[in-house]
Amino acid sequence: MGRIDDVLARRALGQAGDGPHTKALVAYLCCGDPDEAGSVDLAVACAEAGADVLELGMPFSDPTADGPAIARASQRALKSGGGLDATLRVARAVRARCAAPIVLFGYYNPLFVRGEETVVSLAAEAGVDAFLVVDLPLDESQSLRTRAAARGMGVIPLVAPTSRPERIALIAEVALRFPIPFVYYVSMMGVTGGAGATDVLAEASRQAAHVAKLTSRPTVVGFGIDSAAAAKVAAAEAAGVVVGSAIVRRIEEGTSPEARIDAVRTIVSELREAL
């Protein structure tokens, strides 16, 4: 997890005047879309273009929190042989080429079927720094947190606009005992992929700053960030932003490996410039 702490700390120092880029950029990709080798190249391209953290998505047949773009990517990835094992292979290959922190993003079912202990061990060997499991409630995650912490990895919690103060207090309590590299603030209710209104993203940024104070952990904003302008608004008071669907759409629109890499480099560079 130290890689995530280090990059967020560097961005925080930037807020104090150490360089022009002060906010973290977390870039999401669905592993296996368009294929395993392509995912490796695209993830490395994201890092080279300015992404601070790579969020590698495990494709899942019923991605309940994901909007149409990522759902389509998951279906394409599954058809090309994607899944937990393929995602771990992508992570291992990315780690061999790139020092960027890696978050393994997905749903709990594949971890449950394979076994938490096995998945944590494989993820650690692949160079993963943290897990983000969308449908694993905080108060049911102790076994995963314990196993991950034993291998130097964290588990990232999510907070939504509807989260009660007791939940945020629980995150603060958990952060005293287990590694939490950052908190993910969901800007709006619903699924990924929608364009967030400026006022919604601005409020999410303010709330993320509030969560960061209560939990003593950096807090980033995700959902609804589909452009450099939106990223700038969402990151104004937060530690950074997560961008997924906008990147996935560029991959979907690409007509060749080179076109996909160029498109991803372009959008990540634009986001980095805005931050």
Catalytic residues: 55, 66
The one-character DSSP state at 99 is -
Q: Following DSSP, what letter does each residue of 155-176 receive, concatenated?
A: E--EE-TT--HHHHHHHHHHHT
d(CA 98, CA 43): 9
DSSP assignment letter at 255: S
- For residues 194 and 56, give the distance between their C-alpha atoms in angstroms, rounded to a whole number: 20
The candidate with the shortest Cα–Cα distance to 51, out of 3, 97, 93, 101, is 101
**67 SS3 class:** coil
Given CA atoms 106, 122, 75, 39 in this order, what sign does their dihedral have? positive
Alpha helices by DSSP H, the chain: 2-15, 36-49, 68-79, 84-97, 108-114, 116-126, 142-150, 165-175, 198-215, 228-234, 245-253, 257-274
Query: What count of Cα atoms within 13 Å lies in the side-chain half-sphere of residue 67?
Result: 20
